[in-house]
Every structure is written in structure tokens, then in C-alpha cells.
């Protein structure tokens, strides 16, 4: 490395100060939806600030990004500094020269300090992005909870309003049937009315589950046998699609205060959904475990998963991703209502490499 004159040193300080100013400007004006573009701009600023700027190349590797300038060398000599987000290392920034023309002595001490300062700024940017992302997630969850709450109130009102006329339809249809015994066609028509009224009453019952209006028969039970029985009842459905299912209940009994019939409904609905969306010869995993004072039930399938665009609507009544005629759209809303009334939560995440995992958490009271 050649000796640097006072004039060259001054030029280097100006380049470094200019770099810091430009980096700060990029971050101040950064749109959080275009953070990658901002990072590329910061990397370009770093290139210009180095002593041999015409050959300097920059690379950023982190848990979210892997960006390098176009001519980053295969066998570089480089300076590196850590990028930290909330005091945790998430990656690093490298500024490199190509070997063998350049070596470690070609880097200036001031450049090492500059890289450290830029890494601090990049860490601050990524921190702010993470805070913003978390705010958006929390806002969406609150909006979803508000929407489901309003739907619950409306649904409860509708269910109560429908209960009385349905009871009247059913009662008078039963009376009418006793009077038309000689007219075969009329008797068949009355049977259709009765069956339709019973079906409608079941829909109302499901709406009341969603609205948390159904009474509980709560008792402290070992939930393992209840879940095992519910899964065993679905054996014909598993065999029909040649689906392999694994039930993992652990070695110890797991006790929970729960309405056993409603818990069975939750398992039925979630497993039947998993069977419906699973490919032939697919695999479904049902796992029950106790963690941090919670009882967790997970049901994983290998189906197509859920489109991110519709993910927030899957627990709404009458919303279904199944073809018309194959689903009422009440399965998951019933599950949501039962779990909510037991003070629990249900979450969805993608299965890897494909499929869906529904996780139900019940507090162990």
C-alpha cells in the first residue's frame, strides 16, 4: 500500500462524511415497503467511500436479505462488520477487493470505523421496519377480532330470531303429518318440510356455537381417549383416500376442563377438513401436548394450504373455500366459537413443504 498524503487523507475523510450523510438521508426518506432498495442504495454509498472505490464491492447477508453488488469477487479480501437488530446479530456487511491485487493492508482504519457506523444505521433501519411490521400484524389481528366480534353479535341475534319460527314450522308440520295419512304425496311433502326444518335448526345451532351462545357441560377429563375416539370414528374417511394418520398423545394423561361433546366437534371438524384437502395417500398428523400451562392440539395435513388472501376470513360463518354444494362454511366458525367459549385460541400456519397446520391452545384452568 502506498503512503497516503495529507491531501489524500482529506479526500478520504470527505468521502466518508459524504457516505454517512447519504446513508442517513436514505434511511430518513425510506419507505418501509422498499427497504431492499434502500439497502442497495446504502451499499452503493459504501462503494464510493472506499479508497479504491472503482473496484470496491459490497455484500449484505442477514436473516432476511442476501444482496451483493454485481461484481462481488469469488475470492475476496474484505472488511466485515455485524448488523444487529435489538442487540441480536442478524447478519453482516462486507466491503471487498479482489485478490491477489489487493490485500488486508489496503483497508484504512477509518474505513473500519465507517463500516461499523453504517452497520449501526442499517440495524436501526431494520429495527424500525420490524416495529412497523409488528404494528401492522397487531392491527390486522385487532381488526379481525373486531370483525369476528361484530359477526358474533349479529349471528347470535339472527339465531335467536330464527329459533322460534323454526320450532313453529317443525311443530305444525308434525301435526299436519298426522292429518294427511291417506294422501301419500302430501305426507311426502310434509316429510320434506320437517327434514328442511331440522336441517335449518342444525344450521342455527352451529351459528350459536360460533356466537358462543351454546351452554357448556364442563368437566375435568383426560382428553386423550376423547380425541382418540373422535379420530377412530373417522377411520372410513381415512381409508377412502388411503390417508396415513399419526396420533401422538404423549405418554402421560392430559387433563382439561372441557365440554367433551364440543371438544369432539372441534376434532371432527378440523380432521375432516384435513382429510378433504389432503391428497390421496397423504399424511395427517394429530399431536396433543402440554406446554407452559396450555394444552396444545395440532392437526397438520399435506394439502394445498390456505391462500394468504383468504386467510383472515376462514373463521367467518358461511365462508368456504370448498366448491359450491360441498361445504356450508360453518365448520371452522363452529370450531372458532367453541374454542373462544373455552377461553382458548386457534391459529393457522403453513406446513412445510406444503399443507396446513391448525394449532388449538386451551388454557389449563
Looking at domain 6-137, its CATH architecture is 2-Layer Sandwich (3.30)
pLDDT averaged over every residue in the chain: 81
Per-residue pLDDT at 325: 46
Structure confidence at residue 127 as a pLDDT band (50, 70, 90): confident
pLDDT above 60 for 36: yes
21-30, 126-135, 253-262, 325-334: the lowest-pLDDT one: 325-334
Residue 324, pLDDT > 60, answer: no
In this predicted structure, the answer to whether residue 131 has a pLDDT above a threshold of 60 is: yes
Residue with grid cell 295419512, as numbered in its chain: 181
Mean pLDDT of 126-130: 87
| Fold designation for 218-363 | Heat Shock Protein 90 (3.30.565)
Three-point CA angle 264, 267, 271, nearest 5°: 140
- Look at the chain and count its residues: 365
Angle at 67 between CA 36 and CA 43, to 5 degrees: 75
Q: What is the mean predicted confidence (pLDDT) over 268-273?
A: 86
Rg (CA), the chain: 31
At 285-322, the pLDDT tens digits run: 999 998 877 899 999 999 888 877 766 667 665 556 55
pLDDT of residue 211: 56
pTM of this prediction?
A: 0.47
Give the model confidence (pLDDT) of 83-94 as tens digits.
Answer: 998 889 999 999
What would the grid cell of residue 361 be? 391452545
Which of the two residues, 361 and 144, has the higher pLDDT score?
A: 361
The strand pair at 345-350 and 356-363 is best described as antiparallel
Amino acid at each position: 500500500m502506498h503512503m497516503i498524503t495529507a491531501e489524500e487523507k482529506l479526500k478520504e475523510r470527505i468521502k466518508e462524511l459524504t457516505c454517512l450523510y447519504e446513508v442517513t438521508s436514505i434511511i430518513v426518506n425510506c419507505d418501509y415497503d422498499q427497504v431492499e432498495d434502500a439497502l442497495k442504495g446504502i451499499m452503493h454509498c459504501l462503494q464510493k467511500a472506499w479508497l479504491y472505490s472503482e473496484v470496491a464491492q459490497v455484500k449484505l447477508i442477514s436473516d432476511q436479505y442476501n444482496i451483493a453488488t454485481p461484481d462481488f469477487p469469488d475470492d475476496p479480501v474484505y472488511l466485515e462488520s455485524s448488523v444487529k437488530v435489538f442487540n441480536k446479530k442478524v447478519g453482516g456487511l462486507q466491503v471487498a477487493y479482489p485478490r491477489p491485487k489487493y490485500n488486508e493492508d489496503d483497508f484504512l482504519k477509518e474505513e473500519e470505523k465507517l463500516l461499523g457506523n453504517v452497520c449501526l444505521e442499517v440495524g436501526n433501519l431494520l429495527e424500525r421496519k420490524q416495529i412497523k411490521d409488528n404494528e401492522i400484524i397487531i392491527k390486522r389481528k385487532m381488526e379481525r377480532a373486531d370483525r369476528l366480534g361484530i359477526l358474533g353479535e349479529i349471528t347470535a341475534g339472527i339465531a335467536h330470531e330464527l329459533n322460534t319460527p323454526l320450532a313453529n314450522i317443525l311443530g305444525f308440520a308434525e301435526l299436519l303429518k298426522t292429518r294427511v295419512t291417506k294422501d301419500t304425496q302430501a305426507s311426502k311433502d310434509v316429510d320434506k318440510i320437517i327434514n328442511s326444518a331440522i336441517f335449518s335448526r342444525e344450521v342455527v345451532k352451529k351459528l350459536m356455537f360460533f356466537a358462543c351462545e351454546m351452554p357448556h357441560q364442563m368437566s375435568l377429563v383426560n382428553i386423550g381417549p376423547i380425541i382418540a375416539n373422535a379420530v377412530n370414528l373417522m377411520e372410513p374417511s381415512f381409508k377412502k383416500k388411503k390417508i396415513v394418520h399419526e396420533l401422538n398423545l404423549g405418554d402421560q394423561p392430559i387433563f382439561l376442563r372441557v365440554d367433551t361433546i364440543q371438544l369432539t366437534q372441534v376434532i371432527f371438524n378440523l380432521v375432516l377438513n384435513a382429510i378433504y384437502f389432503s391428497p390421496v395417500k397423504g399424511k395427517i398428523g394429530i399431536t396433543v401436548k402440554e406446554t407452559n400451562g396450555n394444552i396444545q392440539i395440532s392437526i397438520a395435513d399435506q394439502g394445498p394450504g390456505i391462500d394468504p388472501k383468504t386467510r383472515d376470513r376462514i373463521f367467518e360463518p358461511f365462508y368456504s373455500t370448498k366448491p359450491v354444494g360441498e361445504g356450508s362454511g360453518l365448520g371452522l366458525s363452529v370450531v372458532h366459537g367453541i374454542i373462544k367459549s373455552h377461553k382458548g385460541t386457534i391459529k393457522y400456519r403453513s406446513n412445510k413443504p406444503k399443507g396446513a397446520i391448525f394449532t388449538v391452545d386451551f388454557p389449563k384452568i
